[in-house]
Amino acid sequence: MCGVTRRRLAMAWSISARPPTSIRPLSRPPMRLARPPARIRPVRSLRAVSVSDMTAGRGGPDMVQKGRFYHCAGFHFPGRPGVESAGLPPGLRRFLMAPCYRWFALLLLAFALPLQADEDSHYNRIRFQVEVTETVANDRMQAVLAAETEAASADEVADSINRTMQWALEQSRDREGIRVSTGNYRVTPVYRQDRPERWRGLQELRLESGDFAALGQLIGTLQQRLQIKHTGFFIADATREAVEARLIDRAIERFQARAEQIRKRFSAQAFHLVEASVDTAGGGQPLPVMRMQAMAESAAPPALEAGEGEVRVAVSGVIELE
C-alpha cells in the first residue's frame, strides 16, 4: 500500500471517529416557505416550474415558487407558470409571465382608448331646436264644488256634510255626459286659546264634461247647497293627440329645413343626424276662472266662456357636418 493511500485512509478514519456533537449547525436556518391562502386550492393539473427552469430564466425573475403556488408582486397565482406546457409562442409566454404591473397598465390602456376615440369624434356637431304651436279651442270643462259647514262637535259636522253630499250626488247621477267624482274630505277643529272651540268640515265634488250648457245648468242647481271652489277649461286628450300628430310632422320638416340651411351656411358637403328628441309638453290643466264667494250669492247658472288653449311641439337634435 502506497503512502498516499495510507494518508487518505487515516484522514477518513479520523473524520468518522468524531462524535456527532462536534458537527456545527448551519450558519442560518433554512428558509420556510409560506403556505398558500386557505381559500385557494392547488391546481394539480398544471405543471409547476422546477428550480432548474427558474435558474434557466424560464420562470421569470419576479416569480418565486411556493409549493404549487407562485408569488408575483404580492399576489398568489395557483399554477400560473404551467402555461409553459401549453405550447405557446415564446413571446406570448413571456408576456403572460410578466410582472403584474404590466397587466394593470394594459387594462388602463384598454379603457382609455375607447374614451379617446369617442372624444375625437365629437367635432363639427351643431345642436339646435325648432318649435311649432297651434291654438285650439278648449272643449272640456271642469268644476269643483264643496259642501262646508261648522258645528259644535265633529259628529255634527260629519253628519251635515254627508247629508249634503248625498243630495248633490242624487242631483248629478242622471245627468248624461257629465263625469262626477268626490274629492277631498276633512274635518278639523277651530281653536281658541289653545282649546278646540268648534269644528269645521269640507268635502269636494268634481264635475267634468264637454257639454258646457248641461254642466252650467247642473252647477246652478248644486249652488243651492254647495259652494263653487273654481271652474276651468282645457283641451280634451283626444283632441290634443290629433293636433300633436299634425304638429310633429310640421316640426320635423322644419327641423330638416333648418339643418339644410346650416349645412349651406357652413359650406359643408352633407350632414347626418346624430340624435333627436320630440317634446310635446304643453298645457291641459284647467284654469280657474271663478271664485267661491261670487257664485254663492245666486243660484242662477253661471255664464261660461271656454276660450282657447295652445298645443306646442318642439324637436331638438344634433347634426354633424361633413
Distance, CA of 241 to CA of 251 (rounded, Å): 15
Look at strands 75-78 and 64-66 and give their pairing: unpaired
Tell me phi and psi for residue 256, to 5 degrees: -65, -40
| 51's grid cell | 428550480
Distance, CA of 320 to CA of 322 (rounded, Å): 7
Predicted pLDDT of residue 194: 83
Distance, CA of 214 to CA of 220 (rounded, Å): 10
Q: In what order do the strands lie in the sheet with 271-279?
A: 125-137, 308-321, 271-279
- Low-confidence stretches of the chain (pLDDT beneath 70): 1-89, 91-106, 108-121, 282-303
| Domains within the chain, CATH numbers bracketed | 30-121 (no CATH), 141-234+291-301 (3.30.70)
pTM score, whole prediction: 0.55
Predicted pLDDT of residue 7: 65
Predicted pLDDT of residue 291: 45
Predicted pLDDT of residue 37: 54
Predicted pLDDT of residue 101: 54
Predicted pLDDT of residue 224: 93
Distance, CA of 143 to CA of 298 (rounded, Å): 17
Predicted pLDDT of residue 4: 53
| 223's grid cell | 249652488
HSE-CB for 265 with a 13 A CA cutoff: 7
Reduce the DSSP state of residue 130 to 3 states and report it: strand
Distance, CA of 212 to CA of 178 (rounded, Å): 10
